[in-house]
């Protein structure tokens, strides 16, 4: 079974731009969670989507948003990028019933 895939793997943007990241979960998984990892703050939860609905949300500003499609694929959008948004963005999928989450390889975003 294929694992969680994320595209693109690397991205460079400038301040003020917006960016969209994509995540394809493991086949059969209905929940997708997004995390941000920075050297200063570590791994932090952004939000979780299940059945095309945001089910859980972390403590991030409204510039961070997401959505999920009917095939469970998810996208994450960050608008008006700031330097501090430079991070590794990770998505994880699970069945949606609270069992083990499996992570993708991440998207490395650099904001200049």
Size of the site for another protein (CB under 8 A): 29
Q: Which one among 7, 16, 54, 99 touches another protein, defined by CB under 8 A?
A: 99
- Check residue 52 and report its DSSP letter: T
Tokens 């469970």 locate to 72
The answer to whether 60 contacts another protein (rule: CB under 8 A) is no
- Contact between 98 and another protein per CB under 8 A: yes
Cα torsion angle, 54, 68, 18, 109, sign:
positive
Least Å from the CB of residue 96 to another protein: 8
Residues 32-51 that bind another protein (CB under 8 A): 33, 35, 42-45, 48, 50
Q: Give the residue carrying structure tokens 């694992």.
A: 3
- Dihedral of the CA atoms 98, 22, 42, 59 (nearest 10)? -70
83 SS3 class: helix
Which residues of this protein are in contact with another protein, per CB under 8 A? 4, 6, 31, 33, 35, 42-45, 48, 50, 55-56, 58, 88, 90, 92, 96-106, 108
């Amino acid at each position: 079974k294929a694992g969680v895939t994320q595209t693109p793997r690397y991205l460079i943007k400038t301040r003020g731009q917006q960016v969209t990241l994509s995540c394809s979960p493991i086949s059969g998984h209905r929940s997708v969670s997004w995390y941000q990892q920075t050297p200063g703050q570590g791994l932090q939860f952004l939000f979780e989507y299940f059945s095309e609905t945001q089910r859980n949300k972390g403590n991030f500003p409204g510039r961070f948003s997401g959505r999920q499609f009917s095939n469970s694929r998810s996208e994450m959008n960050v608008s008006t990028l700031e330097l501090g948004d430079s991070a590794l963005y990770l998505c994880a999928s699970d069945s949606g019933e609270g069992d083990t989450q499996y992570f993708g390889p991440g998207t490395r975003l650099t904001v200049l």
